[in-house]
Amino acid sequence: MVNNTSNINNINNVNNVSNIKNINQFFNSLKLNYFVMPAMDKDAEANSHEKLGDVHYIKGDYARSLWHFKKAKVLGVPDDFIELKIIKSQEKISSDTSMVNTISTLNTINTTRNSYIDIEIDNFRLIPFEIYITFSFILFIAFLMVINFWINSAKFKTIELRKRGGYFFMMLFFSFIFALIPLFVYQLYISKQKFAVVLNNTTLKDGPSEIFNDSEEVLAGTKILVNKNYNGRYFIVTPTKIKGWILKKDVGVY
């Protein structure tokens, strides 16, 4: 993995592309490594995304660099500077977007800010699944402590002896179910959310086909949430002001 110092130097010296020898050869080798994922473990995949993000940043393709850095972060890349790289890519995208908006009157949308809920869901996706398991276990232990306190209370002892077992197992059952709620929320909702970065300036369609009318034009670097997948296109869920279908090739899901 490229060390942290060299990664930051690459970003801070983005204008000195001439100092990097054989960049196209390096880029092609990284693409080859990226697509040979079946033979790679999760850490290697994350490292490949980070390296690809560095290369795209140096080449000035900030939308793709943002996507690769986001993907690396989701995969758990062990790099303290990955968040800084994401921020720097977003700053470059915002700067380019401001320049475009000053010379264009097109109905063009670009947003690097999602709603508060989307941001929180995105943050929860970055928490390792093992943490959710640990939290559920701690929650179950806490419920057991409450049950133990209850069965040793004077109120519990007033219950008929033949009913105590039923109450105990009922409390134990519901404690187990409630303790699993974080795992259910993660598996059934959070992990299934598809966040993406628009990779190319593109025009959305009102439906999942070329026969539908054009809607908004969206700039590269826009962060979106997609769900429906039909006929090679994704439907954009948020930001809510963006409505339409976008080609798969124009987005990077992370």
pLDDT at 86: 87
E strands, 158-232, are 194-198, 202-205, 214-218, 223-230
Lowest-pLDDT choice from 22-26, 51-55, 99-103, 242-246: 99-103
126/244 Cα distance (integer angstroms):
27
pLDDT at 202: 87
For residues 191-207, average pLDDT: 86
Task: State whether residue 201 is helix, strand or coil.
Answer: coil
pLDDT at 101: 43
Residue 61's Cβ-count burial label (10 Å; 0-12, 13-18, 19+) is buried
Q: In what order do the strands lie in the sheet with 223-230?
A: 108-109, 214-218, 202-205, 245-247, 233-238, 223-230, 194-198, 251-253
Read off the pLDDT band of 110 (50, 70, 90).
very low
The whole-model pTM stands at 0.60
112/97 Cα distance (integer angstroms):
10
Whether the pLDDT of residue 226 is over 90: the answer is no
**pLDDT digit string, tens, across residues 19-36:** 444 555 555 555 545 444
Helical (H) or strand (E) element with 237: strand 233-238
Beta strand 214-218 pairing with 108-109:
parallel
User: What domains appear along the chain, each with residue ranges and CATH number?
Assistant: 4-92 (1.25.40), 108-117+193-253 (2.30.30.40), 129-188 (no CATH)
Lowest-pLDDT choice from 5-9, 176-180, 224-228, 234-238: 5-9
pLDDT at 194: 83
Beta strand 223-230 pairing with 214-218:
unpaired
**pLDDT digit string, tens, across residues 171-195:** 899 999 999 998 888 888 887 788 8
222/57 Cα distance (integer angstroms):
16
Whether the pLDDT of residue 12 is over 70: the answer is no
Whether the pLDDT of residue 14 is over 50: the answer is no
Helical (H) or strand (E) element with 109: strand 108-109
233/250 Cα distance (integer angstroms):
9
Beta strand 214-218 pairing with 251-253:
unpaired
* Token digits of residue 18: 């001439």
pLDDT at 24: 54
Lowest-pLDDT choice from 8-22, 142-156, 166-180: 8-22
